[in-house]
């Protein structure tokens, strides 16, 4: 069956023709207003974020060398053992008859953990040979390489955080020093950081990322996709009294999908982030509350 009954159709045709003959342009059918999602503008703390890969290195690390020729007769503190300063790590038996094969005790110079052992019992060692190392895992520092272009922003005493990708915990760090020398091979200058405070739950040898906040200030920030470009000029759309208003803005630094707005916005303004369709200046819009 046709959905259109003949009588209804006839009326339709008649009204249609009447409309045609009386008013030429068809009355524009009112469309529902576009829905938009908005951001309320407020001052937030902004900064430039400087990111560098950082390597965790022990702050206290003692390499143990053999002080005499001999054979390792016993290892008292195996790898991973916590040792206090002066505790015995291993014993070397002299092979030189001069010493009558007397045992020679090797003690830890520092408190820490045996972090490497390069010998086993029975190994013959010679004077000056590297035997292992004792490291204090609680005392670490971080090495970073700062590109020359960033050197102006980074200075001693600057605070930041260290994080390992995929882990939640962050370690506050502070810059202890920056080398004034730029390595021509890498274009970077080395910097050294320390944990800011006591806790440092990171082990030496890891690589993570250090981020610093430079140039801390108050300002406005909006997502990149809320910016409207017209040639070189940049704008945002505000919602004012339920209608849109195109407003020029000055863009500042761009960072992680947002732009700092350095001019054109005031606290309390509503900036349109996304719209269900293109909207013209002055159009009525409906602000969506959902996600």
Partner 1 sequence: MKKLYASPLRVYLALALLALIGLFSASKLPVSLFPNSSKPKVGIWVNYGSLTAQEFLTTYGMDLEEKIRTLDVSGAEVEQVTATYHSSSANIETTFKWGADPQTSLREVRNIAEPFSARMPDEVRKTLSVDAMGENAGFFALSFYSRERSLDELYDLLEPLLGPKIARVKDASDPELWNPTRKEVRIELDPGKMALLGLFPKDIERAIGQAMTGSNGGSITVGVNNFSVQMPRAAGDLEGLGKALVLTPSGQYIHLSDIAKIDFGVKTSNSKSFKTSGAPSLILYGSPRPGGNVKRMSEDFLKIVNEIRPSLPRDVETRTIVDPSEFIRASVNNVFHEVLIGALLAVAVLFIFIGSLRNVITAAIEIPLSMVLAFILMRMTGMNLNLISLGGLALSAGMNVDASVVVMENIFRHFEGRKMPLSYAAKLEIITKAVAEVRFSVIASTLASLVVFLPLAFTSDLSYAVLGDLAKTVVFSHGFSAFVAIILVPTVRLQLMSLKGGEKPVHSPVEPQIKKLENGVASALGVFLARPKLRIALYGGIVASLVLLVVFALPKLPKEIIGTPDTDWMRVSINTQGNTLVKQMELSEDEVESRLLAKFGDRISYTFSQVYNPNGGFIMARLRDKRDMKTLKPEFEKFFANTPAIKYGVGSWNPAELPIPDPDPLKIAVRGGTLKERAQITQEITQQIEASQIFSRAHSEPNSERSESIVLKPNYEQWTQLRRSSSGNLSPEDLAELARVVSTGRRLGEIELKGRMTSIYLRYPDGTLKSPDDLASLPIGVGSKIIPFKALADVRVEEVSPTIYREDGRELFTIHGNGNDDEKSRIPESLKRAKILVDDYVRKNKTTVSVTVEDALKDLNVALEQLGWAIGLSILLIFLTLVIQFGSFANAALVLVAIPLGFIGVITSLLVFRSTLSLNSVLGVILLNGIAVANSIILVDFTKRLFDQGMTPEAAAVEAVRRRLRPILITSLTTILGMLPIALGLGDGGKILQPLGIAVSGGLWVSMTLTLFVVPALQVAYLRRFGKREVAVAETFSAGAQAAGAPHFEFPEGLIRDHLTSEGRTPEQVLQ
- Give contact residues for partner 1 (rule: CB under 8 A): 2-4, 6, 9-10, 12-13, 16-17, 20-21, 25-26, 28-29, 31-32, 35-37, 49, 51-55, 143, 145, 147, 164-166, 183-188, 190, 205-209, 225, 229-231, 254-257, 273-280, 283, 288, 290-291
* Phi, psi values for residue 266, rounded to 5°: -135, 160
**Closest separation between CB of residue 192 and partner 1, Å?**
13
Closest approach of partner 1 to the CB of residue 29, in Å: 7
Nearer to partner 1, 90 or 283 (CB): 283
What is the rounded distance in angstroms from the CA atom of residue 49 to the CA atom of residue 51? 6
Residue 291 CB, shortest distance to partner 1, in Å, is 7
Length, in residues, of the chain: 291
Residue closer to partner 1 by CB (options 125, 285) is: 285
Return the SS3 of 33.
coil
Nearer to partner 1, 17 or 170 (CB): 17
Q: Which residue has the tokens 């953990």?
A: 113
CB of 19 vs partner 1, minimal distance in Å: 9
Q: What minimum distance in Å lies between the beta carbon of 190 and partner 1?
A: 7
The strand pair at 34-40 and 285-287 is best described as: parallel
CB closer to partner 1 out of 62 and 190? 190
Q: What is the Cα–Cα distance from 163 to 183, expressed in whole angstroms? A: 26
Q: Which two tokens stand for residue 111?
A: 């408190």
Contact predicate 22/275, CB 8 Å: no
DSSP designation for 263? E
Structural Rg of the chain based on CA atoms: 36
CB nearer partner 1, residue 9 or residue 44: 9
């Amino acid at each position: 069956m046709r959905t259109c009954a003949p009588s209804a159709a006839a009326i339709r045709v008649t009204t249609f023709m009447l409309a045609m003959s009386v008013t030429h342009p068809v009355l524009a059918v009112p469309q529902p207003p576009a829905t938009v999602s908005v951001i309320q503008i407020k001052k937030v703390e902004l900064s430039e974020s400087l990111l560098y890969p950082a390597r965790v290195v022990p702050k206290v690390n003692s390499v143990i060398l053999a002080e005499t020729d001999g054979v390792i007769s016993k290892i008292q503190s195996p790898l991973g053992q916590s040792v206090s300063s002066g505790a015995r790590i291993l014993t070397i038996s002299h092979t030189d008859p001069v010493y009558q094969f007397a045992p020679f005790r090797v003690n830890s110079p520092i408190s820490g953990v045996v972090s490497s052992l390069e010998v086993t019992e029975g190994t013959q060692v010679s004077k000056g040979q590297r035997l292992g190392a004792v490291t204090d895992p609680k005392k670490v520092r971080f090495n970073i390489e700062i590109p020359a272009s960033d050197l102006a922003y980074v200075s001693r005493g600057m605070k930041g955080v260290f994080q390992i990708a995929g882990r939640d915990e962050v370690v506050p760090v502070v810059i202890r020093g920056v080398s004034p020398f730029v390595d021509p091979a890498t274009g970077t200058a080395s910097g050294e950081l320390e944990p800011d405070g006591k806790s440092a739950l990171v082990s030496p040898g890891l690589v993570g990322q250090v981020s610093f906040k430079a140039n801390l200030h108050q300002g406005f920030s909006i997502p990149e996709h809320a910016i409207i470009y017209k040639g070189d000029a940049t704008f945002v759309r505000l919602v004012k009294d339920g209608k849109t208003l195109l407003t020029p803005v000055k863009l500042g630094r761009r960072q992680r999908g947002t732009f700092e707005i350095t001019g054109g916005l005031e606290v309390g303004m509503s900036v349109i982030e996304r719209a269900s369709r293109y909207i013209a200046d002055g159009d009525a819009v409906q602000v969506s509350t959902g996600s």
